[in-house]
Structure formats: C-alpha cells, structure tokens
Amino acid sequence: MVALMEELGFRVIVVVRAKAVSNLNIFANMINSWNVFVAAHGAGLTNELFLPDGVVMVQVDLIGLEWAGATYYGNPARAMRVHYLQYQIEPDESSLLKIFGRNHTVITDPRSIDDPLGKEAYLNGQNVRINLARFRETLVA
C-alpha cells in the first residue's frame, strides 16, 4: 500500500506504536498536518479528532463492521468537515475467508452473527490483505 500511495504522489507516514504516538502533543500536531488519513477500522481511527477541516479520511471497512465503521467514525468525520471515504473489503481480502470458507454465515451474513463469535471473528480475528487495484480506485475517485 505504501508503494501505491507514493506512486499516486502522497508522502507516506506509517504510524505504529512508537515514541511519537506516546507524546499526544507531538502526535496531534503531526496528524493535523495531514491531507489524507488511511486506516483500517479500529481504535486508531479515533485520531480523526486531530484532523484539520477538509482532509480526506479513508476507512478500510472490515467484513462485519460496516455499521460500526459508519456510525462510530464516518458520522463524526462528516460532522467535523472531514471528507469521509469507505473502502469496503471483499471476502477475498479478509483472513476470515480461509478460516470459515466462502459459504459460511460469517462471510455471507455478518449481521446474523452475535457475540461472542462476532466480536472474536470481526474485531479480534480478522486480518486484511488489500486488493491494491480496487483500493487505487477509491483513492483516485
């Protein structure tokens, strides 16, 4: 993904648990300088609070978390004048496909899955391998 973003002309900053993250003042100022924020659904998206007006935020929506993504991150982003885009992964991009199979309810009907399986599968057990050709379409749209 980094290579794709750079190919499209973005200067990429990959943020992981690092020293910069532990200093809220430094981290908030860094985020406030961004033009685009890309992140998978999760607590890291709460950093949208530090984004400046007009920035583009792209949320990678995981299987089974579409409603939560739109509700907890999309709606606040729009209220803060952030341009909110969603990239909805397909089953082939989720590790859940290998675990459960294409025809399992976890894949075909996520809304029917209740806790604790839902939380374990969708929040804790899902990894993503993004289809860069599809993702590129979201970025250049």
DSSP track, 38-99: EEESSGGGGGGGGPPTT-EEEEEEPTT-HHHHIIIIIHHHHHTT-EEEEEE--GGGBTHHHH
Q: What is the pTM of this model?
A: 0.88
pLDDT tens, 71-109? Answer: 999 999 999 999 999 999 999 999 999 999 999 999 999
Residue 17: what pLDDT?
67
Distance CA 67, CA 42 (A): 13
